[in-house]
Amino acid sequence: MNWIFTLIDSPFFPLVIVLLVILLAQLIYYWLVFGRLAFYNSAKRNFTDAQPPVSVIICAKNEYHNLVKFLPIVLEQNYPEFEVIVVNDASDDDTYYLLKELSDKYSHLKVVHIRENLNFFTGKKFPLSLGIKSAIHENLLFTDADCCPAGPDWISSMQKAFTDKTEIVLGYGPYFSQPGLLNKLIRFDTLHVAMQYMGMALSGSPYMGVGRNLAYHHSLFYKAGGFIKHYKLISGDDDLFINQVSKKANTRIQPDPAAFTYSKPKQTLGSWIRQKRRHLTTGGFYKKKHKFILGLFFLTQIAFYIILGFLAFSRFELWLLGGIFLIRLISQLIIYRKIMVKLNEKGFLLWIPFFEIFLLFINLWLGFIGMFSKKTQW
């Protein structure tokens, strides 16, 4: 028992207490918030077999090479009644001719052409609003031109999550698995974001969705006034809109692999960082409670490593510090492992501690330079 008194008498004892409080906070996030997704059981959820008409909406700007590969897969979904609306946002490649050819072949393809650059605020909100205005069905399903549905049952799987009270369904949009460490990092980051927004939705506090795979009601869009509250921001057509209109009662998730849409990942670290920088610009506009919850998780992550590193550098009771680190690491790997299985991800479990630290530095850096950043195009 002498080690207890030695520990209490140490000048580092207050820091150890702080570290233990931070550890507890992190365990609460992992087990009580993210764990809801890890242990999510679709079989016990009220999924329906109803197949209401659906309007699929895709915005495209110079996306010929992606549309020629992926749009036919969207058009040939195994679903009784749906339309596909492609908004051609003043593309100057061969998108126009491709869409004309496909519209002659597929009667349920509707094309909206923006022939001049009328999108004064840039971003997807203007073309997306035109697509929504052109939709004839109540259920809207969104994806991007560079996204490929997991299979012919994508629409059906996303619609199964709708109930009488559901107005929003949050899907998952993973990236294709490719060789290389960068690909693992990108897929981990995507999984990490999904773990947060799906876990929080299951905890009764939905706060965002991803435009690569998202569904909501036509009437909800008009009831909320569309994107008017944040129309001057380049990003936010997905996460800020969902942050505005989502509630515990009207939002559900759909983690079924059949409901996924896959995208091509960036091929260089610089291009991925630029993409991530654009995505992070909207976080400051979330509701206060969501900023607090997400901010507290991020701050406790940083504080955990800083305090642990300082105490380890001081060579203070390394056995105790090792135990604290292992408790968090084991909890983290258990939750991540179950979510990776659920979301059909593989190949980077043992890289997670390294990726986590790297992303902490990246997010801190992007947050700092974001205060001085200029607007970027979509």
In tens digits, what is the pLDDT along the chain, a chain of 378 residues?
555 656 666 666 789 899 999 999 999 999 999 999 999 988 777 788 889 999 999 999 999 999 999 999 999 999 999 999 999 998 989 999 999 999 999 999 999 999 876 655 567 888 999 999 999 999 999 999 999 999 999 999 999 999 999 999 999 999 999 999 999 999 999 999 999 999 999 999 999 999 999 999 999 999 999 888 887 777 778 899 999 999 999 999 999 999 999 999 999 999 999 888 877 778 888 999 999 999 999 999 999 999 999 999 987 778 889 999 999 999 999 999 999 999 999 999 999 999 999 999 998 888 777 665 554 444
- Residue intervals of the chain classified under CATH 3.90.550.10 are 42-267
Q: Which pLDDT belongs to residue 12?
A: 67
Tokens of 239: 């996460």
- Note the CATH number of domain 42-267: 3.90.550.10
C-alpha span between 335 and 330 (Å, rounded):
9
